[in-house]
Amino acid sequence: MENHQFQEALESLKNTKVRMTPQRHAILEFLFSAKQHPTADEIYKALESKFPNMSVATVYNNLRVFKEVGLVRELTYGDSSSRFDSNTSDHYHVICQDCGKIVDFHYPGLDEVETLAEHVTGFNVKNHRMEIYGTCPDCAKGQAH
């Protein structure tokens, strides 16, 4: 459960004004151990037995705090709820269209696309988002029989 990135996150929090609470510790630990890009709701469900007084809103507010200090990234998907990513380095996502699982995928950043987009449109381009969709191995197995 205790991994290197989680320890680093705890260390970097000490240098911010963010006060560590048992709830925050548990949310952060879940995020760093899950690797599944959970929603606030999923985190809430995983931790509600431990913290009966905690609400989904509390989880969400804590996630926003982590986001503000750069510990997590929020992935927004239009109408459905946001997912949270403890991996803040640049990476892409492969998303299963059957179960919604999001897996990290490392690929050199497509900087040329940004440069070209800037050149063609005159926009001041800040970032881009690329997602790859398909069926994950677990779901593919399930469909086989």
Please give the annotated binding residues, written as ranges: 96, 99, 128, 136, 139
Which is nearest to 62 in space by CA: 26, 96, 33, 93? 26
Can you tell me whether residue 139 is helix, strand or coil? helix
Q: Which of 99, 116, 117, 130 is close enough to bind Zn ion by CB under 5 A?
A: 99
Q: Note whether 74 binds Zn ion by CB under 5 A.
A: no
* CB closer to Zn ion, 40 vs 54: 40
Q: Note whether 87 binds Zn ion by CB under 5 A.
A: yes
Q: Note whether 98 binds Zn ion by CB under 5 A.
A: yes
Residues 1, 102: Cα–Cα separation, whole Å: 20
Choose the binding region for Zn ion from 38-46, 64-72, 107-115, 135-143 (rule: CB under 5 A). 135-143
Q: Note whether 136 binds Zn ion by CB under 5 A.
A: yes
Residues 47, 50: Cα–Cα separation, whole Å: 5
Q: Note whether 139 binds Zn ion by CB under 5 A.
A: yes
* DSSP letter assigned to residue 90: S
Q: Which of 90, 104, 118, 131 is close enough to bind Zn ion by CB under 5 A?
A: 104
Q: Are strands 80-85 and 73-77 parallel, antiparallel or unpaired?
A: antiparallel
Number of residues that bind Zn ion (CB under 5 A): 9
Q: Which residues pair with 94 in a beta bridge?
A: 103, 132
